[in-house]
Amino acid sequence: MTERAGRRCCLGWDFSTQQVKIVAVDAELNVFYEDSVHFDRDLPEFGTQGGVHVHKDRLTVTSPVLMWVQALDLILEKMKASGFDFSQVLALSGAGQQHGSVYWKTGASLVLSSLSPTLPLHQQLQACFSVRDCPIWMDSSTTAQCRQLEAAVGGARALSCLTGSRAYERFTGNQIAKLFQQNPEAYSNSERISLVSSFAASLFLGRHAPIDYSDGSGMNLLQIQEKVWSQACLGACAPNLEEKLGSPVPSCSVVGAISDYYVQRYGFPPTCKVVAFTGDNPASLAGMRLEEGDIAVSLGTSDTLFLWLQEPMPALEGHIFCNPVDAQHYMALLCFKNGSLMREKIRDETASGSWNKFSKALQSTEMGNHGNLGFYFDVMEITPEIIGRHRFNAENIEVSAFPGDVEIRALIEGQFMAKRIHAEGLGYRVMPKTKILATGGASHNKDILQVLADVFGAPVYVMDTTSSACVGSAYRAFHGLAGAAGVAFSEVVKSAPHPSLAATPNPGASHVYEALLPRYAELEQRILSQAQRPLQ
């Protein structure tokens, strides 16, 4: 059998909510290996659903840290069994679900640095965690801690200006505060607190890996302009917290060489570099190769917007993180809860459940919908906090219903006008070179993408980002290798596969929507103020 020529490559990992995924990317930036371990399916002994445990209070949500460790053992064994040539790995990086926290027990670093290559990780790390069930991003049990933190720094807006976000229940600082208040012994017995991303990097490094600026921006603890921990926020959450976190580092940092454990057990070269891991969303921004002025729209169950920002304008909604591929810039994240579930509901009610009929309705109605505007929030929306359906005619008079085709266009135009308005609220501006990158289920519907292009006045591209966080992590590993030479990330990834053009704005689109957008914003404010004012 001919020797399979070694393929020099970088690895990109994603420790996400439901699985651990890996891709191998060669020097031509082609993905040639993918694998994954699903927590529910492959590690049923942990009893998770969707990779998590939702506690009886319906607010607390955790995941077992040893499940994540064992998943890494499994995926490496699968790669070894498949004949993957680890000796060709130049560097690796990765991503983790944002905001989750891992609590390393005092003494863990000694175990991490002296792992026996004859045993799997999970057998050796059993006693290394002071908290075995880690709080993750789906947790919403820390409202009290959020209010305490905002009060300590001068309010929600002050906290947002300092850390990029007002206090959110899932953000790590508030989770650490809750642990300190409710389990002070576990807190004091923790020598290190990691994010999921830096925890995963620590497994490869054989010692505690630092938190990177970008994922660290999701903690309500990092001053995003100065890139240092906020002493006021640290002090408000828990004592001696800075020494447990360690110093944050630029996301492109090479944090060390791979632990000898992987050299001996799997055949990695001792020269394999570990590049700082980051959050899944920052890694996805890298995987989609977003550039300044671009906007990524993930049209999933909930819709998520990633924006590249030069200058942040922290607000009381959305999040601003340090940019994972350019330390001078930022990224913004906006979550819209009423995404595909709302589109499917209106499709079922108005197009007999048919996407074909849904598309025909968009084709048969004109841009601007004759001034009819709709707001469709069947679950409490995050951006902004509104619930219910609200329809307005061209005279801004609220009406109870629209004809079917008008309803469908009002839904889609409204969803995309909201995205543009709230993105611009965070400092985003459509630029002549702006590209919109659409991903997620609805990005397969070209009529929906046509409305997206019209509302933003920019071309829409599509790319398969099933593993954008993994691919972005592999790209970042290559960038970390080139970092010493000061090479820009865009230069490192310029030969990567390009997204394909899906829609360009119709003639006259800018004129139509630049007239409609202010009306939409005013009506949104009207609904908000009515919701906040008790009925007369």
Ligand X SMILES: O=C(CO)[C@@H](O)[C@H](O)CF
- Identify whether the C-beta of residue 409 lies closer than 8 Å to the C-beta of residue 343: no
Give min distance, CB of 301 to ligand X, in A: 12
Minimum CB distance to ligand X smaller for 172 or for 365:
172
Minimum CB distance to ligand X smaller for 96 or for 414:
96
- Identify whether the C-beta of residue 278 lies closer than 8 Å to the C-beta of residue 214: yes
Question: Which structure tokens are listed for 289?
Answer: 């190769």
* Site pattern 220..259 for ligand X (x: CB under 6 A): ----------------------------------------
Minimum CB distance to ligand X smaller for 97 or for 434:
97
Q: Which residues contact 113 (CB under 8 A, 6 or more apart)?
A: 206, 207, 259
Minimum CB distance to ligand X smaller for 222 or for 509:
222
Applying CB under 6 A, the span of 114-122, 233-241, 273-281, 360-368 interacting with ligand X comes to: 273-281
CA distance 218 to 171: 6
Which residues, in sequence order, are bridge partners of residue 25? 10, 31
Give min distance, CB of 280 to ligand X, in A: 5
Give the CA dihedral 178, 182, 186, 192, nearest 10 degrees.
10
Give min distance, CB of 215 to ligand X, in A: 9
- Identify whether the C-beta of residue 245 lies closer than 8 Å to the C-beta of residue 229: yes
* 17 contributes a contact to ligand X by CB under 6 A: yes
Give min distance, CB of 71 to ligand X, in A: 15
Candidates 281, 359, 439, 473; binder of ligand X (CB under 6 A) is: 281
What residue has token string 């997620």?
440
Give min distance, CB of 469 to ligand X, in A: 9
Candidates 133, 169, 280, 407; binder of ligand X (CB under 6 A) is: 280
Q: Which residues contact 66 (CB under 8 A, 6 or more apart)?
A: 46, 122, 125, 126, 129, 132
Counting residues that bind ligand X (by CB under 6 A) gives 13
φ/ψ of residue 264, rounded to 5 = -75, -40
Minimum CB distance to ligand X smaller for 273 or for 319:
319
**What is the 3-state secondary structure of 308-366?**
EECCCCCCCCCEEEECCCCCCCEEEEEEECCCHHHHHHHHHHHCCCCHHHHHHHHHHCC
SS3 429: coil
Give min distance, CB of 175 to ligand X, in A: 12
The strand ranges marked E within 18-100 are 19-26, 31-38, 53-54, 61-64, 89-96
Give min distance, CB of 402 to ligand X, in A: 33
Minimum CB distance to ligand X smaller for 308 or for 402:
308
CA distance 217 to 319: 9
* 137 contributes a contact to ligand X by CB under 6 A: yes
Minimum CB distance to ligand X smaller for 202 or for 278:
278
Which H or E run includes 299? strand 295-299
Minimum CB distance to ligand X smaller for 201 or for 367:
201
Q: How many CB atoms lie within 10 A of CB 368?
A: 19
CA distance 218 to 374: 32
Which 476-515 residues touch ligand X, going by CB under 6 A? none
Which 59-98 residues touch ligand X, going by CB under 6 A? 97-98
Minimum CB distance to ligand X smaller for 175 or for 372:
175
Q: Could you tell me which of 195, 204, 262, 287 has the C-alpha nearest to residue 474?
A: 287
Applying CB under 6 A, the span of 69-77, 259-267, 275-283, 485-493 interacting with ligand X comes to: 275-283
φ/ψ of residue 5, rounded to 5 = -55, 135
Give min distance, CB of 495 to ligand X, in A: 29
Minimum CB distance to ligand X smaller for 164 or for 368:
164
* 99 contributes a contact to ligand X by CB under 6 A: yes
Q: Could you tell me which of 81, 102, 90 has the C-alpha nearest to residue 7?
A: 90
Which 311-330 residues touch ligand X, going by CB under 6 A? 319
Minimum CB distance to ligand X smaller for 139 or for 405:
139
* 212 contributes a contact to ligand X by CB under 6 A: no
Give min distance, CB of 171 to ligand X, in A: 8
* 467 contributes a contact to ligand X by CB under 6 A: no
Ramachandran sector of residue 424 (left: φ over 0; alpha: ψ -120 to 50; beta: rest): alpha
DSSP string, 131-146: -SEEE-TT----HHHH
Give min distance, CB of 20 to ligand X, in A: 13
Give min distance, CB of 52 to ligand X, in A: 11
* Site pattern 153..182 for ligand X (x: CB under 6 A): -----------------x------------
Give min distance, CB of 380 to ligand X, in A: 16
Minimum CB distance to ligand X smaller for 425 or for 505:
425
CA distance 381 to 303: 11
SS3 296: strand
Give min distance, CB of 332 to ligand X, in A: 11
Minimum CB distance to ligand X smaller for 96 or for 505:
96
* Residue numbers at the binding site for ligand X (CB under 6 A): 16-17, 97-99, 137, 170, 218, 279-281, 319, 333
